[in-house]
Amino acid sequence: MPVDAVPEKLLNWYDAHHRRLPWRAGPGEPRAAPYRVWLSEVMLQQTTVAAVKSYYAHFTTRWPTVADLAAADEAEVMAAWAGLGYYARARNLIACARAVVNDHGGAFPDSEAGLRTLPGIGDYSAAAIAAIAFGRRAVVVDANVERVTSRLFAFDGPLPVGRPAIRELADRITPDERAGDFAQAMMDLGSSICTVRNPQCLICPLHGDCAARAAGNPEAYPVKAPKKAKPQRRGTAFWIERDGHVWLVRRPAKGMLGGMRALPTGPWTDADPGLAEAPAKADWVEAGSVDHVFTHFALRLRVVTTRKPAPLNEGEWWPIARIEEAGLPTLFARAAARAIAAAQD
DNA sequence: AAGGCGTGGGT
DNA sequence: TACCCAAGCCT
């Protein structure tokens, strides 16, 4: 099926129907600032537009330039990221801002290769920023592009092995001009029309060009390798209270929820660890448990509380009335809510 | 290079 | 309900 007309059709559709998003250039503005494009792309990695919006607004208000972010207090940035997930992104965000200021004179590299060297910027983000912020011709491949492209060509090589081949197909339809708009058009199309389930082929601008549509099985693409089962793990969180304050720790920089404030916990294992590795000697009171699902395992976190702890180290007393300002990841925000609710029973 | 790494919305 | 999945990156 010939695809020569695909770029023009898609760009025409984009001109008429594209989403208005805070990080996109407004009318009369040719391109958004590289800092804003970069910030939005990092936030959008594996994350929905709806979830990103309020975080993007806060970050751009609190840190309007890359220099502001480079000079920011790390703990404040991590707390501002709390709830968005994939916290390595926040650590890399700070490292990247500092690299731009220290190694690139405060300006983002304007090429895909230059961007690719920065922390937290991989193949996708480098291509997206080069195309959207700098007008470069780059082949931008995210999950939307993989879905649209695999359907367009009825490409049935299973992911992730088939990924390089899909990139070749995407390269074939990427125009020399307006590659940034083309990429965003593919993503808008993927999010609104060429969806994972129930694609709206009847209103798709590429209806007549799509091999999967012609075959009547668009939902069959992309083909994916089977996924593994999620193990169930168990752990215990310790809510230690004194004079209206709770004891919080900071998790190690690497690993789950790395660098984030948290309630103390013991190890997360396949059996209930109980009170093993409690941070203090105390008479623990049950406060219930929280079930939380991560990318590669599910966790049942038992919450226990005390108001009379033995001495503690390496942590801080945080006012319970302002617990939402601690920047707890969602797991611990839920555990905290459980402890507070239990105290009122 | 396969697996670690969050969360919330949709079906 | 239980599952799927999202504008991926890093090691």
All structural domains of chain A, each given as residue ranges with its CATH number in brackets, are 6-220 (1.10.340.30), 232-343 (3.90.79.10)
- CA-CA-CA-CA torsion for A12, A7, A213, A199, nearest 10 degrees? -60
Nucleotides of C under 7 A from a protein CB: 4-10
CA at A7, C1' at B8: how many angstroms apart? 33
For A230-252, the pLDDT digits (tens) are 999 999 999 999 999 999 999 99
What is the share, in percent, of chain A residues with pLDDT greater than 90?
Answer: 89
A196 nearest nucleotide via C1' and CA? C5
Exactly one of A41, A112, A146, A241 is catalytic; which is it?
A41
Q: Round to a whole number and report the distance in Å from the CA of A245 to the C1' of C6.
A: 37
pLDDT (tens digit per residue) in A273-289: 889 889 989 999 999 99
The pLDDT of residue A194 is: 97
Q: Which parts of chain A register pLDDT below 70? A: none
A41 annotated active-site: yes
